[in-house]
Amino acid sequence: MSTLRFKAVEEALKRAPVDATTPGKMPSEYFGKYVFNRSQMSKYLSKETMEIVLDAIDSGTTLNRDIADHVAAGMKMWAVEMGATHYTHWFQPLTEGTAEKHDSFIDYSDGQRNNIIERFSGKLLAQQEPDASSFPSGGIRNTFEARGYTAWDPSSPAFIIDETLCIPTVFISYTGEALDYKTPLLKALSATDNAAVDVCKLFYPDVKKVYSFLGWEQEYFLVDKSLYYARPDLILTERTLLGHESAKNQQLEDHYFGAIPPRVGSFMQEVEHEAYKYGIPLKTCHNEVAPNQFELAPIFGETNLAVDQNLLIMSLMHRIADKHNFKLLLHEKPFAGVNGSGKHNNWSLCTDTGIGLFTPGKNSHENLLFVTFLVNTLYAVYKNNALLKASIMSANNAHRLGANEAPPAIISVFLGKQISAVLDKLENSSEDDEISVDELKKMKLGVAHIPEVLIDNTDRNRTSPFAFTGNRFEYRAVGSSANCSSAMTALNSVVAAQLIEFKKEINKKTEKGMKMEKAIYETLRHYIKESKAIRFEGNGYSEEWKEEAAKRGIDCETSVPLIYDSYTTAQSVEMFESLGVLNEKELHARNEVKWETYAKKIQIEGRVLGDLCLNHIIPVATEYQSMLLDNLYKIKTVFDKDKIEKLSWEGAAIIEEIAEHISAINRNVHDMVEARKVANKIEDAREKAIAYHDTVEVYFSKIRYHVDKLELIVDNRMWTLPKYRELLFIS
């Protein structure tokens, strides 16, 4: 009989909510308490230093060593007063999550090594050389010369966690190539800023800076800790590789509207308080569609900072979940048959003068600016739809896309009825029309009349991977465990490159004597015509859309290793290089890492699946089968021939069914292992990943099918793995 499973269920059922540690104050009194933010800086830095640092943050100027020394002194004083004893450069390697190497502040104060003091210099603040050999580099950095260094990013404030001062940094190889997510993101944001300012100046010459904003919505599952530890697949792969759907799952949609379970409420309360201490402005926490699935979202902020805050909150959530006797699942698809978890990236651009570039304006001039940015984004997404898909793709996310209420692995743009109508009218207005801005109203383009309701997001299509939602785009294809940098680097880059092209086109036309407005309209009209294929207002979850998208020439590739190829096409390389975001060598190296990661993930899943089948499923099924056989024999000894026929036919059929499933599992596991052996011999990372995708992963669903059938047949008391109804409905 299974004991661990039933013990786990018992423990989970007995649990009471764990009290949330709450500061007992209003958030405004402790918001950003652990962050060396502007208000702390003003207390610990001289006025001059402060001004130079703020200028560096706002305009990206470089800080010299002297200033770094001043900042380090102030930062250390603040950190020590807050109880910090260590410091670390906090960076984002190409694996998931963040990395850090802790050093103590202590040092000898004198040559005789008599006195210990706390020391922290500008040099230590600005640059570090972690032993980086174990982080993936895609061959850029050989392990024998493990030199990579981290360098301070002053635009994201330092913070204290567990008595350690964490300093956000970029991570670069000794030869200058990016080994992390942050470096290209910062470059992409700067490219967007420059390109967008140039375009804004056509309308408003006083614009000096354009900010990229990100508001992420983090979805996640919580599973009781004891149940989690009774599932080796969850422990080792963060998803259930086996498990029959629960008789009831999300079809009634009662979880979405239901009350938050008390244990979860307590967890959320604590997450909220901790987030506030770290200056993360959490705004909403609520249930999601699937049972035991939830979401939280902050007020949006500058993209680089928002990315860091997302990474920080993911790690805070892990430890707070643990305290509340839960395990946090950030995997994109922990459970088959119910919704997966995404991380919608709400993205917009805004000028330093306060103009939201995706916000419909109040007059025709503002609206032309709005349409300009909207159409350029549309065109950029159209031209780079395959690349954008590559930026959000992973072994995990591949399970989510195209399954249960998730966007398909096809990028399309939803604009909504009104904006679509505006673009249609614009497209169909005559080429020869001399269109001045003031004539907008006369032409009834509708641009000047976009009603305010749009801003309320009433027109929504939840099935679109990239949707316009009134004043921003919502990039919904991003996965819940992802570092948003990947998607944000790609998106900001393609839009920056497009805006540069647009500006060139306008210059060309106006230099030939065309009026500015006409030049803009003509160019936009051309873009609208060209990019039509990317616009889709229908149901993105439908099968018809897949066919239609293929006809339209939108990228429909579903094999993860092949999707990554979009990063190294001539078009992508040209685009990233021209912006200075990533060079060809970096792009190739990063793909190597992606392919390696993909192959490793599938390899681990394959091993766990094989082990579970051989050690859990088959022994239990065989045992149950023996019981039935035993029973059948006994029936035969007790009853006469006529009765046996009547009484035992079902037993025999079940025995046969079990035998068939067992042999199918055995055969498929055996074949999968053989396929793995072949794949493992392949040296080339891309070829290996393709082999894992094409020849290994294909067995997962075949094996699972038979296991899940057995789960329905075998005696519940014998089944060792907690079932979906237990994992999903106990909280």
Give contact residues for ligand ADP (rule: CB under 6 A).
Answer: 213, 215, 217, 284, 297-300, 346-348, 356, 471-472
By C-beta, is 215 or 610 nearer to ligand ADP?
215
**Nearest alpha-carbon partner for 243 in 251, 235, 255, 231:** 231
DSSP string, 594-649: HHHHHHHHHHHHHHHHHHHIIIIIHHHHHHHHHHHHHHHHHHHHHS-HHHHHHHHH
By C-beta, is 359 or 531 nearer to ligand ADP?
359
Alpha carbons 136 and 78: distance in angstroms, whole number: 34
| Residue 231: contacted member of Mg ion, ligand ADP, none (CB under 5 to 8 Å, by partner type) | none
At closest approach, how far in Å is the CB of 349 from ligand ADP? 8
By C-beta, is 118 or 405 nearer to ligand ADP?
405
| Residue 472: contacted member of Mg ion, ligand ADP, none (CB under 5 to 8 Å, by partner type) | ligand ADP
Helices 570-579 and 182-200 cross at an angle (nearest 10°) of: 80
Residue 288's CB is within 10 A of a number of other CB atoms, namely 20
Asked if 231 and 335 count as a contact pair (C-beta separation under 8 A), the reply is no
Stretch that binds Mg ion, among 169-177, 342-350, 409-417, 483-491 (CB under 5 A): 342-350
Q: Which residues, 6 or more positions from 649, have their beta carbon under 8 angstroms from its beta carbon?
A: none
Measured between alpha carbons, how far is residue 668 from residues 245, 358, 701 in Å?
A: 22, 52, 10
By C-beta, is 464 or 489 nearer to Mg ion?
464
Site string for Mg ion, 9-38 (x = CB under 5 A): ------------------------------
At closest approach, how far in Å is the CB of 366 from ligand ADP? 15
Among 187, 273, 324, 344, binds Mg ion (CB under 5 A): 344
Asked if 91 and 98 count as a contact pair (C-beta separation under 8 A), the reply is yes
At closest approach, how far in Å is the CB of 213 from ligand ADP? 4
By C-beta, is 253 or 630 nearer to ligand ADP?
253
Block residue for tokens 């294929």: 533
Helices 618-638 and 641-680 cross at an angle (nearest 10°) of: 160
At closest approach, how far in Å is the CB of 22 from ligand ADP? 23
Stretch that binds Mg ion, among 204-212, 338-346, 670-678, 711-719 (CB under 5 A): 338-346
Q: Contacts from 42-47 at CB under 8 Å and sequence distance 24+?
A: 43/78, 44/74, 44/75, 44/77, 44/78, 45/70, 45/71, 45/74, 46/70
Q: Are strands 301-302 and 210-224 parallel, antiparallel or unpaired?
A: antiparallel
At closest approach, how far in Å is the CB of 356 from ligand ADP? 6
By C-beta, is 284 or 716 nearer to Mg ion?
284
By C-beta, is 294 or 699 nearer to ligand ADP?
294
The H or E element spanning position 212 is strand 210-224
**Nearest alpha-carbon partner for 353 in 206, 199, 192:** 206
Measured between alpha carbons, how far is residue 612 from residues 232, 331, 349, 395 in Å?
A: 8, 20, 49, 20
| Residue 298: contacted member of ligand ADP, Mg ion, none (CB under 5 to 8 Å, by partner type) | ligand ADP
By C-beta, is 286 or 585 nearer to ligand ADP?
286
How many residues of this chain bind Mg ion (CB under 5 A)? Answer: 1
Amino acid at the residue 419: I
Asked if 154 and 53 count as a contact pair (C-beta separation under 8 A), the reply is yes
At closest approach, how far in Å is the CB of 45 from ligand ADP? 30
By C-beta, is 404 or 464 nearer to Mg ion?
464
Asked if 159 and 36 count as a contact pair (C-beta separation under 8 A), the reply is yes
At closest approach, how far in Å is the CB of 496 from Mg ion? 24
Q: Looking only at residues 428 through 467 of this chain, which bind Mg ion when binding is defined by CB under 5 A?
A: none
| Residue 364: contacted member of ligand ADP, Mg ion, none (CB under 5 to 8 Å, by partner type) | none
Q: Which residue is nearest to Mg ion (CB)?
A: 344
Under rule CB under 5 A, residue 263 binds Mg ion: no
By C-beta, is 476 or 704 nearer to ligand ADP?
476
Two structure tokens written together for 372: 């300009």
Backbone angles phi, psi at 646, to 5 degrees: -75, -40
At closest approach, how far in Å is the CB of 539 from Mg ion? 18
Q: Are strands 413-414 and 466-468 parallel, antiparallel or unpaired?
A: parallel
| Residue 215: contacted member of Mg ion, ligand ADP, none (CB under 5 to 8 Å, by partner type) | ligand ADP
- Give the CA-trace dihedral at 500, 502, 508, 513, to 10 degrees: -130
Alpha carbons 314 and 286: distance in angstroms, whole number: 16
| Residue 461: contacted member of Mg ion, ligand ADP, none (CB under 5 to 8 Å, by partner type) | none
By C-beta, is 45 or 355 nearer to ligand ADP?
355
| Residue 74: contacted member of Mg ion, ligand ADP, none (CB under 5 to 8 Å, by partner type) | none
At closest approach, how far in Å is the CB of 347 from ligand ADP? 6
Q: Which residue is nearest to ligand ADP (CB)?
A: 215
* Interaction site with Mg ion (CB under 5 A): 344
